[in-house]
Amino acid sequence: MDFEKLLADRLNKMGASAIREILKVVSQPGMISLAGGIPSPESFPMEIMGKLTSAVLEKYSSNALQYDPTEGFTSLREVLVDYLKRKGIKSTANDILIATGSQGVLDSIGKVLISKGDRVAVEAPTYLGALQAFNSYEPEYVRMDTDDDGLIPQSLEKVLKLGGIKFIYLVPTFQNPTGRTITIERRKEIAVIIKKYNALLVEDDPYSALRYRGENIPPIKTHAPDNVVYVSTLSKVFAPGLRIGFCVAPDLIKKWLVIVKQGVDLHTSTFNQALAAEYLSEGYLERHLPKIIELYRPKQEAMLSALEKYFPEGFTWSKPEGGMFIWAKGPDGIDMEKVYWKSVEKKVAFVPGKYFFTARGEGIETMRLNFTMIDKKAIEKAIKILSEVIKGSRKN
Amino acid sequence: MDFEKLLADRLNKMGASAIREILKVVSQPGMISLAGGIPSPESFPMEIMGKLTSAVLEKYSSNALQYDPTEGFTSLREVLVDYLKRKGIKSTANDILIATGSQGVLDSIGKVLISKGDRVAVEAPTYLGALQAFNSYEPEYVRMDTDDDGLIPQSLEKVLKLGGIKFIYLVPTFQNPTGRTITIERRKEIAVIIKKYNALLVEDDPYSALRYRGENIPPIKTHAPDNVVYVSTLSKVFAPGLRIGFCVAPDLIKKWLVIVKQGVDLHTSTFNQALAAEYLSEGYLERHLPKIIELYRPKQEAMLSALEKYFPEGFTWSKPEGGMFIWAKGPDGIDMEKVYWKSVEKKVAFVPGKYFFTARGEGIETMRLNFTMIDKKAIEKAIKILSEVIKGSRKN
């Protein structure tokens, strides 16, 4: 049967995913992967899961298995008010929408805001999953400049001055892919700018709880509450397989996010929301989070040391205070996709950085390195091999 | 902040939901609701949930909490092959896509197939949740005639002959809202017609396991495997709060469903998929399903008897052999929305049938009655009150 002709036009832009193709080799046996973006299974609170499920079944009984309102499970929304308060965000349970992962929020945001051809402002580079969520609504992307301190506020203002931007998408803390964090000074500047232009900012914050050094920096939402949809997730501090994301959005936006989400999946798993409510309300998160941090901190240090020790001259890399990624940049002229193919031959994988840019030709000399999934020894080994591959490929 | 101007055009068609508005009163205290469409909490296998969660944590450990491929959890896809085989559907695990409820399948189908203005053929009346999923992709609906035996094949052929239909959407067994089932003879005719026109059918089958009388009728998918996306769910035979739906689709369609789902929620809850895999593979479903049937059968019989006993002359209603709904039709001229408002004053709610039609002015004299949520006594009482309200409103 030939169904090609039945496919919707929007798929034209979603077709061949080069990154999906090149990453297929990552699962080959023996591969040391710095390519992933997923938490270590050691970070999951396995030892309390039995207790947690029993408590949920006892406390909520059949309500934990029943259909539930699209907005989210009441107990979870209530306890998230406190969680958000600790991040400096004022909310009521009613302001909060639970979604099927933060990916679910991003999809609904796309559906609510993007008509074909609408302009969305994104960092260069930016998070690939957000682009994937938005792409099916056929936006045009407007790129904004970044440096070691994240988004450059002047670049944001320049873009907003031109007009016609539906919303701005940022990952301000320990960004995926760069690991960079927008400084507090810049956050305040950004808040002033979006207020000045009545702009809407989608602030995606999956990583800020994973801080290994330094001081917490409040979300941009705290500086411009009416202009920001704050998006977060429990995937990095509880378990990604439960698919619990959430957002706090201005009233009108939140109202529409609920309506579109109803069409997408009716609501997020009640059982998993109840587990999350219990995890937060009974203090499990508070007790478990330090363990996650102590798990990742040495891995990150190991990667930073290995980069220092092995990486060739002419390379620079980010030195994030938390998160899951380090971003490295080689000298002009080096093509990290070529390095990638040589590197996977030596059984080390990473993600060539160009895939995180919306403009073609950018980021050819960059790479994203993840340190959460493998142990310190493997990290050192991988960086050493990678350095040798890079040195070798520069000779040719 | 005025964000109205930021909203996407597609929301124009999704705005005010009249049915959502009128159903707000259903949650008033003391209301007997025949309006719902949700399983009874008594139908959930509460007594095994503790065992099930322990088994999953033991068997899959941290894999049950980790990110997982978009296509679905391998063990669940594998055991669904057997489940589908018992329905007469041949598949491999690779043909199966797990989604966040069957709503998740319907949303992805809309995204893969519907460009703005595309024509989708639906029964009159049809399932509201499907329209909600499709509406955000801005289709035009083409209505097809139905009678007591479901879709009239000649009506389908007439619509396909005109051309330009992206896909046909049907709920062939114990349909929501009518409870009607398409006969085996008609299924075969429908299969011949869709093959003749190279058409794609989306066969939504949430209810067929809930059969209280009579013989199983194989899905249309069994008669035209290459032309049908078969969609189903564990919401009615396990627990809706887990949000586990699935589909078996032709290769090209399945490939695209996976790509778009990745942007929507990355994947469905791994933990819940593992619970579902365990529920199916260890024989729990097989042992539990008869209990669900024995729970609902007397409720349905009570409603049919009460209708027989109390409902005024001039009314007819469906007599389904299973499912969750009965569809009643009054004499021409009666406006069931008016009846609704008088009925809720007397603390009995139902859904006026017109909301299930895509063409305005159809189904004014119809109503959908659900019998799964309340006990036999409440069912009899509700039907009695409803009958009195109808008789009263005809006098005025």
Q: Which CATH number fits domain B58-285: 3.30.70.2740, 3.40.190.10, 3.40.640.10, 3.60.21.10?
A: 3.40.640.10
pLDDT band for position B188 (50/70/90)?
A: very high
Interchain CB distance below 8 Å, B260 and A14: yes
Instruction: Decide if pLDDT at B396 tops 60.
Output: no
Per-residue pLDDT at B26: 87
What is the nearest CA distance from B61 to chain A, expressed in angstroms?
A: 8
Q: Where are the domains of chain B?
A: 4-44+287-395, 58-285
What is the nearest CA distance from A226 to chain B, expressed in angstroms?
A: 7
Its pTM stands at: 0.97
**C-alpha pair distances (Å), A207 with each of A86, A126, A293:** 15, 14, 11
Closest CA to B181 of B229, B214, B222: B214
Which chain A residue shows the shortest CA-CA distance from B261? Answer: A133
Q: Would you call A46 exposed, middle or buried from its count of C-beta atoms within 10 A (0-12, 13-18, 19+)?
A: middle
Q: Chain A partners of B113 at a C-beta cutoff of 8 Å? A: 6-8
Give the span between the Cα atoms of B142 and B149, in whole angstroms.
Answer: 20
Give the span between the Cα atoms of B273 and B279, in whole angstroms.
Answer: 10
Give the span between the Cα atoms of A235 and A245, in whole angstroms.
Answer: 8
**C-alpha pair distances (Å), A173 with each of A204, A208, A257, B125, B195:** 9, 6, 24, 50, 54
**In the structure, how many helices (H) and strands (E) does chain B have?**
12, 15
Q: Chain B partners of A27 at a C-beta cutoff of 8 Å? A: none
What is the nearest CA distance from B227 to chain A, expressed in angstroms?
A: 7
What is the nearest CA distance from B256 to chain A, expressed in angstroms?
A: 8
Closest CA to B241 of A275, A260, A278: A275
Give the span between the Cα atoms of A121 and B317, in whole angstroms.
Answer: 55
Among A54, A137, A167, select the one facing B6 at the smallest CB separation. Answer: A167
What is the nearest CA distance from A111 to chain B, expressed in angstroms?
A: 7
Give the span between the Cα atoms of B291 and B44, in whole angstroms.
Answer: 10
First to last CA, chain B: 49
Per-residue pLDDT at A188: 98
What is the nearest CA distance from A240 to chain B, expressed in angstroms?
A: 6
Q: What's the average model confidence in pLDDT over B216-240?
A: 98
The DSSP bridge partners found for residue A151 are: A146
Which chain A residue shows the shortest CA-CA distance from B45? Answer: A62
| B67 vs A20 pLDDT, higher one | B67
User: Which residues lie below 8 Å from residue B190, measured CB to CB, with a gap of 6+?
Assistant: B151, B153, B156, B170, B182, B201, B220, B223, B224
Does domain A62-283 sit in CATH 3.40.640.10? yes
Q: Chain B partners of A226 at a C-beta cutoff of 8 Å? A: 1
Interchain CB distance below 8 Å, A250 and B167: no
Give the span between the Cα atoms of A137 and A10, in whole angstroms.
Answer: 7
pLDDT digits (tens, 9 = 90+) for A170-216: 999 999 999 999 999 999 999 999 999 999 999 999 999 999 999 99
Interchain CB distance below 8 Å, A3 and B111: no
pLDDT digits (tens, 9 = 90+) for A66-80: 999 999 999 999 999
Interchain CB distance below 8 Å, A263 and B107: yes
Per-residue pLDDT at B16: 61
What is the nearest CA distance from A48 to chain B, expressed in angstroms?
A: 11
Interchain CB distance below 8 Å, A66 and B198: no
Q: What's the average model confidence in pLDDT over B8-25?
A: 81
What is the nearest CA distance from B135 to chain A, expressed in angstroms?
A: 8
Q: Chain B partners of A262 at a C-beta cutoff of 8 Å? A: 132
| Stated length of chain A | 396
The DSSP-derived string for A246-306 is EEE--HHHHHHHHHHHHHHHSSS-HHHHHHHHHHHHTTHHHHHHHHHHHHHHHHHHHHHHH
pLDDT band for position B13 (50/70/90)?
A: confident
Rounded to the nearest integer, the mean pLDDT of chain B is 96
Which chain A residue shows the shortest CA-CA distance from B104? Answer: A265
Which chain A residue shows the shortest CA-CA distance from B108? Answer: A264
**Under a CB-based contact definition with an 8 Å cutoff, are residues A264 and A98 in contact?**
no
Interchain CB distance below 8 Å, A264 and B264: yes
**Under a CB-based contact definition with an 8 Å cutoff, are residues B245 and B212 in contact?**
no
Q: Chain A partners of B251 at a C-beta cutoff of 8 Å? A: none
Among A4, A62, A200, select the one facing B44 at the smallest CB separation. Answer: A62
The CATH topology of domain A4-44+287-395 is Aspartate Aminotransferase, domain 1 (3.90.1150)
Per-residue pLDDT at A23: 82
Per-residue pLDDT at A396: 52
Give the span between the Cα atoms of A104 and B263, in whole angstroms.
Answer: 8
Among A63, A104, A227, select the one facing B1 at the smallest CB separation. Answer: A227
pLDDT band for position B23 (50/70/90)?
A: confident
Q: How many CB atoms lie within 10 A of CB A316?
A: 13
Interchain CB distance below 8 Å, A46 and B62: yes
Closest CA to A123 of A334, A330, A353: A353
Among B44, B104, B240, select the one facing A264 at the smallest CB separation. Answer: B104
Among A3, A41, A200, select the one facing B3 at the smallest CB separation. Answer: A200
Among A1, A8, A137, select the one facing B250 at the smallest CB separation. Answer: A1
Which ranges constitute the DSSP H helices of chain B? Answer: 18-22, 46-60, 74-86, 101-113, 128-135, 153-162, 184-196, 251-265, 270-281, 284-310, 336-345, 376-395
Which chain A residue shows the shortest CA-CA distance from B194? Answer: A1
Interchain CB distance below 8 Å, A104 and B265: yes
Share of chain B above pLDDT 90, in %: 93
Return phi, psi of residue B325, to 5°: -135, 150
pLDDT band for position B15 (50/70/90)?
A: low
Which chain A residue shows the shortest CA-CA distance from B255? Answer: A15
pLDDT tens, residue order, chain A (396 aa): 689 999 999 998 786 667 777 788 888 899 999 999 999 999 999 999 999 999 999 999 999 999 999 999 999 999 999 999 999 999 999 999 999 999 999 999 999 999 999 999 999 999 999 999 999 999 999 999 999 999 999 999 999 999 999 999 999 999 999 999 999 999 999 999 999 999 999 999 999 999 999 999 999 999 999 999 999 999 999 999 999 999 999 999 999 999 999 999 999 999 999 999 999 999 999 999 999 999 999 999 999 999 999 999 999 999 999 999 999 999 999 999 999 999 999 999 999 999 999 999 999 999 999 999 999 999 999 999 999 999 988 765
**Under a CB-based contact definition with an 8 Å cutoff, are residues B275 and B100 in contact?**
no
CB contacts < 8 Å between A and B, how many? 236
Among A3, A50, A250, select the one facing B252 at the smallest CB separation. Answer: A3
| Stated length of chain B | 396
Interchain CB distance below 8 Å, A46 and B63: no
What is the nearest CA distance from A269 to chain B, expressed in angstroms?
A: 5
Which residue is listed with tokens 């939402």? A221
Interchain CB distance below 8 Å, A62 and B54: no
Interchain CB distance below 8 Å, A57 and B49: yes
Among A8, A100, A267, select the one facing B115 at the smallest CB separation. Answer: A8
pLDDT digits (tens, 9 = 90+) for B175-186: 999 999 999 999
